Amino acid sequence: MAVISSIVFAVMIGFAISASAQEESVIPDWIKTAVTFWVQGQISDLEFINIIQYFVENEIIILPSSDDRIIENLQIFQSELNEKIQQSQALRNNAQIQQTIKESNKEFSENPNFNSLIENRELEWVSTEKNQIIPLMYDLMKNDAAKILQAIVEQDQKSDSLFTYAEIFVTNSYGVNVAMTGKTSDYIQNDEVWWIEARQNGIYLEEGVFDESAGVYASDIALKIVDDKGNFIGVMKAVINVEQLITTEK
């Protein structure tokens, strides 16, 4: 929501410009309702963007020229986000990624003290300095699954995409990291809303928030991972850098 909050201001200015030409200064209830629903979380950022686009395309709102680029970038963002959702859905079925997750799940299932192991790893993980990499982190960034994730991120960052992957990482069914493209802020992920929602609903989208792990304003895609029998085995999170929207707003 933080990424497009200034759009509300642009909407009001845009309506004022349109209304001025008609010597009308009252904002219609249906515009107020759309903004209210968005602020209250009854509609998503993307749904709100669609409403704004409809207003602009039908000249209900005339945005100042400086805001045209914002709308254009939001349209590009929608398109690229949809592409990355499809790419992530295919990536979670990658044989090597699934194999790495299954091996991790097996390791924990065979350890009667797995809870203590996870807690100790988490404590060591969050106690490290920002730029420090402990052996566990190194292993999770260098295994075969991580190499696949890194290749996707690197290829995307070299493309002409405006909104590239900042990071991608995968957890097992116990909710801890098993492969990642970079150091995350935590080892344990199963207490995060995105992890819980993805496991329950299959997919979770977080739009326009500051991602502490990636260090950028981002939109997050979290997907449930299942094996070929439909059994839950883990969750994948892809973080998309949306700093371009912030830059445009400024």
Helix, strand, coil shares, percent, the chain, to 5: 55, 20, 30
The mean per-residue pLDDT over the stretch 238-242 comes to 89
Amino acid type, 126: V
- pLDDT of the residue at 137: 97
The mean per-residue pLDDT over the stretch 216-238 comes to 93
- Do 64 and 17 meet the contact criterion of CB atoms below 8 Å apart? yes
The mean per-residue pLDDT over the stretch 7-32 comes to 47
- pLDDT of the residue at 163: 86
pTM above the 0.75 mark?
Answer: no
The mean per-residue pLDDT over the stretch 11-39 comes to 52
The mean per-residue pLDDT over the stretch 195-212 comes to 84
Question: For the ranges 59-63, 175-179, 221-225, which has the lowest average pLDDT?
Answer: 59-63
- pLDDT of the residue at 199: 97
- pLDDT of the residue at 210: 67
- pLDDT of the residue at 35: 64
Task: Parse the chain into domains and list their residue ranges.
Answer: 2-63, 88-249
Percent of the chain with pLDDT over 90: 52
Give the model's confidence band at 37: pLDDT under 50 very low, under 70 low, under 90 confident, else very high.
confident
**Which helix or strand (DSSP H or E) is residue 82 part of?**
helix 65-91
Report which of 233, 238, 250 is spatially closest to residue 101, judged by C-alpha positions: 233
Superfamily in which the 88-249 domain is placed by CATH: PAS domain (3.30.450.20)
- State both tokens at 188: 């344990």
- pLDDT of the residue at 231: 97
CA distances from 129 to 41, 119, 137, 139 (A): 36, 18, 13, 18
Mean pLDDT of the residues in the chain: 81
- pLDDT of the residue at 243: 74
The mean per-residue pLDDT over the stretch 158-165 comes to 87
Judged by DSSP in three states, 75 sits in helix
